[in-house]
Amino acid sequence: MLKWLGHAAFELDLKGKMILIDPWISNPSSPVKVTDYHNVDYIVVTHDHSDHLGDAVEISRTTGAPVIAVFELANFLEETEKIKTIGMNIGGPLKLDTEISVYLTQAFHSCTHGAPAGTVIKTEEGTIYHAGDTGLFSDMKLIGEVYRPDIALLPIGGFFTMDPVQAAIAVQMISPKIAIPMHYGTFEVIDRNPEEFARKSKELSPATQVVILKPGESIDLR
């Protein structure tokens, strides 16, 4: 099960394994609280901006879950925050167990430590691509060809990332079964209509189903 927690934060429940991605749980539209998380196995962070690193440190301290991030960011968090981390880089895979593999992909954005990334999480139930914060780039086509995501989580807010039209072009390149918009509506500057993304995606990639979630809603991976 994949649940949207608002902004770019997602909860992934895989046969009893709980993975959080970019857990800014205290974002304005979040349906849950940081204190709701007691059993987390892994935390994946795409980059160190506060709306993505979010509450990862607090959740890691509370649950013991390691933070998976680009090497330099992982080292920084381990040294300064004294939490468990797993540092990796673009490529992979990182095998979490026999059924779950994590990859980091390129993203075109900015950050303070290391480099911005997207992440691909491969499981027996399906493959999820979380693009992180990124502009549109042509190698998204390669991400689609190499990892074949079943679900693509794409920012549509513009200003800092792709806007709805650019994100729809990303859908065309990646060709996932399902595309889910994220990273919009949290602030005025990224207030975008996801229906615009859905319309343009249908035009460019009619085989892809666009699912517009509300914070707290989820989708089955199968």
* pLDDT recorded at residue 82: 97
Tens-digit pLDDT string for the chain (222 aa): 999 999 999 999 987 899 999 999 999 999 999 999 999 999 999 999 999 999 999 999 999 999 999 999 999 999 999 999 999 999 989 999 878 999 999 999 999 999 999 999 999 899 999 999 999 999 999 999 999 999 999 999 999 999 999 999 999 999 999 999 999 999 999 999 999 999 999 999 999 999 999 999 999 987
Number of structural domains (the chain) is: 1
Domain hosting 48: range is 2-219
State the amino acid at position 100 in one-letter form. Answer: I
Q: Got the DSSP string for 172-220? A: HHH--SEEEEES-SSSGGG---HHHHHHHHHHH-TTSEE--PPTT-EE-
pLDDT in tens, 85-99: 999 999 989 999 878
d(CA 34, CA 177): 31
pLDDT digits (tens, 9 = 90+) for 57-66: 999 999 999 9
Is 43 within 8 Å of 60 (Cβ atoms)?
Answer: yes
Instruction: Give me the CATH number covering residue 163.
Output: 3.60.15.10
At 56 the three-state DSSP class reads helix
- Among residues 7, 16, 38, 20, the alpha carbon closest in space to that of 128 is found at 20
